[in-house]
């Protein structure tokens, strides 16, 4: 991210600077400001920088003269009488933060900018500084929200539009910690599409993808609030069921299995005639990896026993 002091004031200043002599009359200075549409003039002699004369100095001066009923257009005085001196300067390679600090701390709205040889190279205003400052802050806020969006995307499976294994691992750590704290079990259900290699071989990979999306949606729609579905990998999904014992996990698994079966997606190469899933479940309040291993062996049993069914460890 851009640090505020990474931006040198040379990038923000205006190089259009008009200088006047201290003896110049206020009337000429006023005309010069108006002719060049500037808000300040730098006051300089051959010996160097003397001060700065701003629009505001002139307004205050005229206001005082009018109030004192002493406004005489033929004798408005000279620049030396009104200028701010000595002029506080900044270096062209000073950073935005440094220059903004000088400007705010000393209440100076126009700062002449000099190079390393002390020659005048520009003028920077407080408005230039604040505008640059807010632009950088805005960009940094955009970056933060882009990063958040990327982070969220990196946890979603693009095919099924559900959490991926990374998201599952992150969430499971919390579910496990809560189960241990409250000593109430949580359930895990592994679901695997039956005969899916044959499905792909028969209908093609694209229809295979479509079927996986439909399966994920049907299972997702069958869930109770608080339960979460993730893609575990390939054609395998996993349900995470907080505060759920073995009986509850069995109900959730059966609801999910039924939901897929009821889609009645034709699968000619399956002995069951349509697309189905098998499920293996485990529940407890222990280590989630051990529960996944348990659910996996239960799933193996469900497959061995004819598929389209749920088994528990």
Ligand X SMILES: Nc1nc2c(ncn2[C@@H]2O[C@H](COP(=O)(O)OP(=O)(O)OP(=O)(O)O)[C@@H](O)[C@H]2O)c(=O)[nH]1
Q: Which residue is nearest to ligand X (CB)?
A: 208
Q: Which of 92, 128, 192, 296 binds ligand X (CB under 6 A)?
A: 192
Shortest Å, Cβ 283 to ligand X: 23
Report the relative pairing of strands 90-91 and 48-54 from DSSP bridges: unpaired
If the CB atoms of residues 186 and 203 are measured against ligand X, the closer one turns out to be 203
200 scored as a contact of ligand X (CB under 6 A):
yes
Q: What sign has the CA pseudo-torsion 154, 160, 166, 167?
A: positive
DSSP 232: E
The count of other CB atoms within 10 Å of the CB of residue 305 is 11
Return the number of the residue (195 or 288) whose C-beta is nearest ligand X. 195
Number of residues near ligand X (by CB under 6 A): 17
**Omega of the bond leading into 136 within 30 degrees of 0 (cis):** no
CB nearer to ligand X: pick between 212 and 259: 212
d(C-alpha 161, C-alpha 153), whole Å:
10
Q: Which is nearer to ligand X, 186 or 195 (CB)?
A: 195
At residue 122, φ and ψ (nearest 5 deg) are 180, -175
Q: Choose, from 23, 169, 235, 254, the residue flagged as catalytic.
A: 235
Contact stretch for ligand X (CB under 6 A) within 124-132, 205-213, 251-259, 282-290: 205-213
Cα angle: 196, vertex 202, 205; to 5 degrees: 65
Within 158-307, strands assigned E span 162-163, 186-193, 228-233, 236-241, 277-284
Q: Check binding of 57 to ligand X (CB under 6 A).
A: no
Inter-residue contact 139 to 2 (CB < 8 Å): yes
Binding mask 10-29 for ligand X (x = CB under 6 A): --------------------
275: phi then psi, degrees, rounded to nearest 5: -75, 135
Positions in 209-228 near ligand X (CB under 6 A): 209, 212
Q: By CB under 6 A, what part of segment 138-177 binds ligand X?
A: 159
Active site residue 254: no
Residues 226-285 that bind ligand X (CB under 6 A): 234-235
**303 sits near ligand X (criterion: CB under 6 A):** yes
- Cβ atoms of 263 and 211 closer than 8 Å: no
φ and ψ of 227, to 5 deg: -85, 150
Question: What is the closest distance, in whole angstroms, from the C-beta atom of residue 278 to ligand X in the complex?
Answer: 7
Binding site for ligand X (CB under 6 A): 159, 192-198, 200, 205, 208-209, 212, 234-235, 303, 307
What residues are annotated to the active site?
235
């Amino acid at each position: 991210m851009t640090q505020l002091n990474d931006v040198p004031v040379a990038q923000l200043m205006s190089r259009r600077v008009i200088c006047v002599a201290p003896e110049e009359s206020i009337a000429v200075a006023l005309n010069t400001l108006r002719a060049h549409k500037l808000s300040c003039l730098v006051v300089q002699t051959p010996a160097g920088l003397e001060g700065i004369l701003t629009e505001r100095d002139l307004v205050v001066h005229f206001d005082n003269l009018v109030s004192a009923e002493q406004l005489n257009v033929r004798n408005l005085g000279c620049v030396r009488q009104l200028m701010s001196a000595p002029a506080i300067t900044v270096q062209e390679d000073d950073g935005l933060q440094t220059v903004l600090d000088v400007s705010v701390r000393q209440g100076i709205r126009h700062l002449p900018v000099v190079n390393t040889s002390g020659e005048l190279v520009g003028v920077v205003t407080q408005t230039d500084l604040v505008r640059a400052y807010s632009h950088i802050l805005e960009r940094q806020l955009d970056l933060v929200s882009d990063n958040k969006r990327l982070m969220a995307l990196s946890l979603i499976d693009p095919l099924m539009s559900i959490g991926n294994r990374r998201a599952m691992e992150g969430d499971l750590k919390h579910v496990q910690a809560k189960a241990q704290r409250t000593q109430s079990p949580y359930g895990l259900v592994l679901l695997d599409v039956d005969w899916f290699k044959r499905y792909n071989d028969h209908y093609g990979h694209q229809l295979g993808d479509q079927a996986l999306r439909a399966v994920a949606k049907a299972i997702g729609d069958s869930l109770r609030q608080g339960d979460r579905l993730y893609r575990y990998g390939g054609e395998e999904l996993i349900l995470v069921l907080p505060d759920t014992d073995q009986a509850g996990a069995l109900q959730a698994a059966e609801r999910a299995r039924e939901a897929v079966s009821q889609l009645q997606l034709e699968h000619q190469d399956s002995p069951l005639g349509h697309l189905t899933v098998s499920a293996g479940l485990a529940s407890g309040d222990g280590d989630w990896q051990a529960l996944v291993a348990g659910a996996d062996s239960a799933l193996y049993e469900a497959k061995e026993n004819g598929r389209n069914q749920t088994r528990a460890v």
